Amino acid sequence: MRIISGILKGKQINFIKNLTTRPLKDSVKENIFNILKHSKKIETKIERANILDLYSGIGSFGLECISRNSKKVTFVEKDIKVTNILRNNLGNHSILDKALIINDKVENFLENCKNKYNIFFLDPPFADKEFIKNLRLMKTKKIYTLKHVIIIHRESRTNDELDDCFITLFTKKYGRSKIIFGTFN
């Protein structure tokens, strides 16, 4: 696994091999960033953006954002072993100053969140439906800027009910992965 573009292009990302994590594949990640850069439906740009990477795992999405000159990335991950790997990845690439790592449940972080973000990336476990409550909480807490985008990574066969708080801009499928782009209404 590697960083695919930006100032850290080609740098390796360490990851844990277990049944609880599934790092975002490079090909899917590359497609997400191409859409962010070229879609006319998305006004938010990575450069100078505040990013919230929820269920971040080893942080491959957020690391890519830092490499592409985002302002700051907040990583939220509850698994301490995975968080330690994320911290090592940030340290190995000398970018700890561009990141905030929160080792806690997403809902706990959101309950106390006071910052506003431009780009949200949610990569909950495929079987997890609780992320929808967290999406609603993000909207209620108004932790988003006027121009924002939400990106959700799901299993391609899932059918999540997002319509009550989320406007889907478009959905893309890549093998087993489904990437949903949207905004709050």
**Taking Cα atoms as reference points, which of 159, 151, 153 lies closest to residue 177?**
153
pLDDT in tens, the chain (185 residues): 889 999 999 999 988 766 455 677 888 999 999 999 999 999 999 999 999 999 999 999 999 999 999 999 999 999 999 999 999 999 999 999 999 999 999 999 999 999 999 999 999 988 888 899 999 999 999 999 999 999 999 998 888 888 788 899 999 999 989 999 999 98
**Is 7 part of any domain?**
no
For residue 150, the surrounding DSSP H or E stretch is strand 144-155
**Is 76 part of any domain?**
yes
58 bridge partner residues: none
**Is 19 part of any domain?**
no
CA-based R_g, the chain, Å: 15
**Is 36 part of any domain?**
yes
In this prediction the pTM is 0.94
CB-CB contact of 84 with 78 (8 Å): no
**Is 20 part of any domain?**
no
**Is 9 part of any domain?**
no
**Is 88 part of any domain?**
yes
> How many angstroms separate the CA atoms of 93 and 88, rounded?
9
**Is 177 part of any domain?**
yes
CATH number for 126: 3.40.50.150
CB-CB contact of 51 with 68 (8 Å): no
Number of domain units in the chain: 1
Residue 67 belongs to what domain range?
A: 26-184
Question: Distance from CA of residue 40 to its chain's centroid?
Answer: 20
